[in-house]
Amino acid sequence: MESLNLSRYLGEWRDLAVVTAHVAIILGLTWLALRVMRKLLGQLRRHMQEDVGDLERVKRLNTLERVFRYVATVIIILVGSMLVLSELGISIAPILATAGVLGIAIGFGAQSLVKDYFTGFFLLLENQVREGDVVEVSGKGGLVEEMTLRYIRLRDYEGSVHYIPNGTVDTVTNRSRGFAYAVIDVGVAYREEVDVVYEAMREVAAELRADPEMAGKIVEDLEIAGVDQWADSAVVIRCRFKVMPLEQWGVRRAYLYRLKKAFGAAGIEIPYPCLTVYAGQDKQGHAAPLPLVIERRTA
């Protein structure tokens, strides 16, 4: 009897040791699979970037690697957990059935979350948004710091961080694809000769392109569209530079700075708003402007 109990006791310990060993092996293989997956994805991204000189494709590869790493991590952990439960003698069939029913219930109750994931998948598939882009989505604009299947994380010019669920994104305005235009509106007084203003604008643009710090940012020479408006106090001339992505704001500021100095040196007036005041008029509109009287006082 004692030998039978001892044999049964040893058998239980042997079975426990076997189960423990199997669980340890599964956990070890899960950890190894995670390490190998991350290493392979990193090597694949670096290998693909070696043959890519386009910064836009590099950003897309970085974004796709991050998303694939997240999806693969979830799958590996899920498979490992199911194998561990199976080794512990817990049947996974009822769990899967319960998860299916629960998934349907959650799907109805969390449609916005499901929409976030589906929209995020297509945003990545269609290459609309990538990390490092400057975009405007859902009324918020800024630099894309993180792009996942669920949300887009933006940081605006003030440093504020915005988390935008992908399901709310209906229009994406991407300001960092291929090239951009630095659009500039220049206002001058009505009495100035427009052709003279054009010449001054072209000279300043040529000096800007000759600057070593700006030469690599500007793709093409200044394009003057012409007189865009007859405003209340100024003739508005519109022009633009074709520039590298994300350089439109810096080029615009640099051009306006130089143009202000050039206009001052050439005597070209940048007007203030003007207003003519009438004391009142009859129906025919014959009233004269109100005279301006300047009173001088002596000490």
Question: What are the sequence ranges of the domains in the chain?
Answer: 2-100, 125-174, 180-266
Q: Is the pLDDT of residue 57 over 60?
A: yes
Q: Is the pLDDT of residue 218 over 80?
A: yes
Q: What is the pLDDT of residues 99-154, one digit of tens each?
A: 665 566 555 555 677 788 788 888 877 788 888 888 999 889 899 888 888 889 99
Give the pairing type, strands 151-155 and 180-188.
Answer: unpaired
Distance of CA 243 to the CA centre of its chain: 18
What span, in angstroms and rounded, lies between the C-alpha atoms of 117 and 151?
A: 8
Judging by beta carbons within 10 Å of its beta carbon (0-12, 13-18, 19+), is residue 135 exposed, middle or buried?
Answer: buried
* pLDDT (0 to 100) of residue 56: 59
What span, in angstroms and rounded, lies between the C-alpha atoms of 130 and 147?
A: 7
Average pLDDT of the residues in 235-255: 93
Average pLDDT of the residues in 18-42: 81
Lowest mean pLDDT among 75-84, 85-94, 131-140, 281-290: 281-290
- Looking at domain 125-174, does it have CATH number 2.40.50.100? no
Distance of CA 256 to the CA centre of its chain: 26
The rounded percent of the chain whose pLDDT value lies above 90 is: 27
Separation in Å, CA 220 to CA 61, 63, 223: 29, 30, 8
Structure tokens at 244: 């590298």
180-266 CATH choice from 1.20.58.110, 3.30.420.40, 3.30.70.100, 3.30.70.940:
3.30.70.100
Lowest mean pLDDT among 189-198, 237-246, 256-265, 275-284: 275-284
Separation in Å, CA 156 to CA 63, 127, 160, 234, 241: 20, 21, 6, 33, 24
**Mean pLDDT taken over the chain:** 80
> Torsion angle of alpha carbons 224, 229, 232, 234, nearest 10°?
10
* pLDDT (0 to 100) of residue 235: 93
Whether 180-266 and 125-174 are alike in CATH topology: the answer is: no
CA–CA–CA angle 67, 72, 76 (5° rounding): 155
What span, in angstroms and rounded, lies between the C-alpha atoms of 233 and 188?
A: 8
* pLDDT (0 to 100) of residue 299: 44
Q: What is the pLDDT of residues 251-296, one digit of tens each?
A: 999 999 999 999 999 999 988 776 656 666 565 666 665 565 555 5
Check residues 219 and 116 and name the one with the higher pLDDT: 219
Q: Is the pLDDT of residue 70 over 60?
A: yes
Structure tokens at 139: 């009324």
